[in-house]
A and B are shown apart, each in its own frame.
Chain A
Amino acid sequence: MNGFLHDFFDIPSDLQHSWIGLVGLHLREALLPVAAGLLLALPIAQLCIRFRWLYPPVLGITTVLYAVPSLAFFVVLINYTGQTELTVMIPLAVYSLVVLVPAIVDGVRSVPQETLSAATAMGFGPLRRYFQVQLPIAVPAIIAGLRVATVSSISLVSVGMLIGNQGALGNLLHDAQIYNRPELTWNSVITTALLAILVDALLVLVRVLLTPWMPSGTAGRKQAPALKDAAR
């Protein structure tokens, strides 16, 4: 047993990282794009809300981009950004946009008309209304989107293995083959799955902390459709 565990965590030296190192790398490559995606998605979503006609084309473009296989993306990007982490992260950021823009738009639009009227009538300007009313009320929908975006991002990082070992935990798959060490495959798969579950749980916790105002019984139900939509 000890021997297996030793082998399990014995990361080949060509990866230049310990197991923990790979985990850190994987998280960075997965989460930075989602963070960038969120920063981009907020203003894009706001534009889509402000100018209704903009939403369908934006949705169309992001969906088409989503349909481009990640590998094709990488191949094109290599010409510009080389075999670097950036080449992996740019497509992931784009993918997270596809999930986050609709999540934010739907979330902000779900704010009841009465609430908006009340805010306006109390003398909220448009900016104050956005940041103090619409955005906070959209938090559950935004976090539902973030959950989908991060989980898919964590699993997609592994593909980066194909472009000069930029796949963090995914690189273990490659090494498992060349060194004929199946336990490394297990390591890669299990660790990635655990990371996804942990990060997801963390986001749920953040949601619970940020939204004490949500009826606890309906919290899960309200998000379910958004999640399903986004996962499609």
Chain B
Amino acid sequence: MIRIDSVTKRYPDGTVAVDRLSLEIPDRSITVLVGPSGCGKTTTLRMINRMVEPSEGTILLDGEDIQRQPVTTLRRSMGYVIQNAGLFQHRTIVDNIATVPRMLGWGKQKARARAAELMERVGLDAALAKRYPYQLSGGQQQRVGVARALAADPPVLLMDEPFSAVDPVVRKGLQDELLRIQDELGKTIVFVTHDIDEAIKLGTMVAVMRTGGHLAQYAPPAELLSGPADAFVEDFLGGDRGIRRLSFFPSARLELTSDPVIPLDATAEQIAAPDAPYLLVTDADGRPLGWSAPRDLVAGDIRPERLLSHGRPFVPGTDSLRVALDCAVLSPTGWAVAVDTGGRVTGVVSQATIGEAIRSAHAAGRDDEKVAG
């Protein structure tokens, strides 16, 4: 665990970048520092690997003051990833990644083998190994940056706005990749960003900082969204935080119904039986074809091309309530279609039912908070 204990950083020109900050960063999880520009995120991060020395206070790593070990040793045990990657332009990709292992005295062969392994892990084609940084796209360079930081298998990873210089599509890919890698490796990651959505997506814990280097709130993302500590945090979270919070509720417990689901070769009785304004027609494999009002359906002559689009379906096991709600909102009938991972319909659910689930989830969330508090 990294423990930041009432740390203050005053730069020589008098700027107080961080003001009596205390933070406990749990092991094997992603802790995000988020806040507006100039609020002291980078300064805080750099105090952890002593690129910036605190003016007051201490930082403990596994209970020991980080001042106690040689600074280069400390840094080599912490991977560091920055915006634009900061790759060594004069070294090949494989040599960039092998930098820290080589410094730690690994043989050339072993270091390169390790680099190749990491390229695969971060999703880089092995053919890129002998290239130079200028021959890579921004997203690829960023992956190299991550691989380089992981090379010596450090327990801690410090990341300073690593994905903010790439376009939104690439950024999403990199974020998903980071979550996957984190699932596999379980590093202690401190991640700096000014993008609250990124913070909420990646963070196990999120520290919201405000200008002047103060900690405004430190909480898991769902808690942040449900109970911002003050107006600043609420404002920083932005609009529709109620909707965004739904990302943290699973859709698995939604009550599905398969009454309005009929096959393509449905009989007249099957069409007439359900007491529903719309019916969902499925193909022989159970995949959704589309919606229709019962009166528009003729048994034995259901034409898939005449059906209303069924919209995007959701997968109850994997998707959140937010996705389910989104599906229902976008559906022409107001009903969301649930499918299994194979794409076969498992049932449908109305906006009203989803609304019910949201209310009970919020109620449960409040109870949790009461218990925790």
Contact = CB atoms under 8 A, between A and B. Distances in A.
Contacts of B109: none
Given A118-B80, A137-B89, A123 B134 contact: no
A114 B85 contact: yes
Interface stretch (B68-76, B180-188, B212-220, B355-363): B68-76
A125 B75 CA distance: 11
Contacts, number: 68
Contacts of A64: none
Given A136-B90, A213-B89, A114 B76 contact: no
B106 interface: no
B132 A114 contact: no
Nearest to B82: A114
B88 A115 contact: yes
B135 to A, nearest CB: 8
A219 B343 CA distance: 54
Nearest to B89: A213
Contacts of B132: 212-213
A128 B83 CA distance: 23
B66 to A, nearest CB: 13
Nearest to B133: A213
B86 interface: yes
Nearest to A210: B90
Contact of A118 (B78, B86, B103, B134): B86
Contacts of A212: 132
A128 B88 CA distance: 14
A56 interface: no
A122 B90 contact: no
Contact of B103 (A123, A136, A213): A123
Interface string B94-105: 000001100100
Contacts of A128: 103
Contacts of A122: 75-76, 80, 99-100, 103, 148
Interface in A193-232: 211-215
Interface string B143-183: 00100100000000010000000000000000000000000
B83 A114 contact: yes
Contacts of B74: 123
A3 interface: no
A211 B49 CA distance: 32
Interface residues of A, number: 22
Nearest to B99: A122
Contacts of A115: 86-89
Interface in B1-55: 49, 51
Contacts of B306: none
B75 A121 contact: yes
Contacts of B80: 118, 121-122
A163 interface: no
A211 B71 CA distance: 32
Contacts of A118: 80, 82, 85-88, 145
A69 interface: no
Given A123-B72, A123-B76, A213-B132, A117 B100 contact: no
Nearest to A138: B90
A112 B84 CA distance: 10
A122 B148 CA distance: 9
With most chain B CB atoms within 10 A of its CB, the pick from A117, A120, A121, A215 is A121
A204 B17 CA distance: 47
Contacts of B85: 114, 118
A121 B134 contact: no
A49 interface: no
Interface string A124-140: 11001000010011010
A123 B87 contact: no
Nearest to B135: A215
11 contacts: A114-B86, A121-B82, A122-B76, A122-B103, A123-B73, A128-B103, A133-B88, A136-B90, A137-B89, A213-B89, A214-B134
Shortest 10 CB-CB distances between A and B: which pairs? A118-B86, A114-B86, A121-B80, A123-B75, A123-B72, A123-B76, A213-B132, A213-B90, A136-B90, A215-B134
Given A117-B86, A121-B78, 8 more contacts: A115-B86, A115-B88, A115-B89, A123-B76, A123-B103, A137-B89, A137-B90, A213-B134
